[in-house]
Structure 1
Amino acid sequence: MCLRMLSAACTAGGIAAYGLTDMAVTPSALVKCNMQIDPAKYQSISSGFGVVLKEQGARGFFRGWVPTLLGYSALAACKIGVSQFFKRYYSDIGGPEYATRYQMLIYLASFSSADVSL
């Protein structure tokens, strides 16, 4: 039961870390994409922010934040869950002594395995 609560807490932390931070940078990603689409109109980051603000208002900066929040939150939930699986799997392979001694390597391997598998 305690391990499930820990996994749920890690998943919630991952959602907050991935989803909320990526949502927070949505305005700069929006300006960057606009610069790629129309470089004559959006000549720099600062002028790009000015164009968006002038043409669409402050609301224009947050277009696309909902899919960004949902997508990265789902990705984080999956990555954290899968990495917890690999962490337990690799710890069981080595046994308790090696799991304690090589904890950092097990964490590295579990998160790397989660990234590769997703």
Structure 2
Amino acid sequence: MTKVVYVEYDGSEHVIDVKPGYSVMEGAVKNNVPGIDGDCGGACACATCHVYVDEAWVQRAGVPTSMEEAMLEFAENVEPNSRLACQIKVTDTLDGLIVRLPESQH
């Protein structure tokens, strides 16, 4: 299992063991982490799983595809380290990944 740290807007942390191959969004939804809705189920079609990847993890998390970048236009308060959690696949190299959640997904 790979540990992913989800940090809510208020600073509350959730350290979750996520199975490699799952997305960061699936790890959050399956473990009831508040702040990630994942309304489309991971199809990169809603932007309700917007997260900020911690600066130390940006390169390891990969770069967004053009489809993900287009979907991020629907998210609020997008930053250079913004990603859709449904598009970050969990691997062993992401053990300890930290993502921060925005104040709102809508």
More helix by share: 1
Q: Tell me which of the two structures has the higher relative contact order, counting C-alpha pairs closer than 8 angstroms and 6 or more residues apart.
A: 2
Same fold by TM-score greater than 0.5: no
**TM-score, normalising length: structure 2:** 0.23
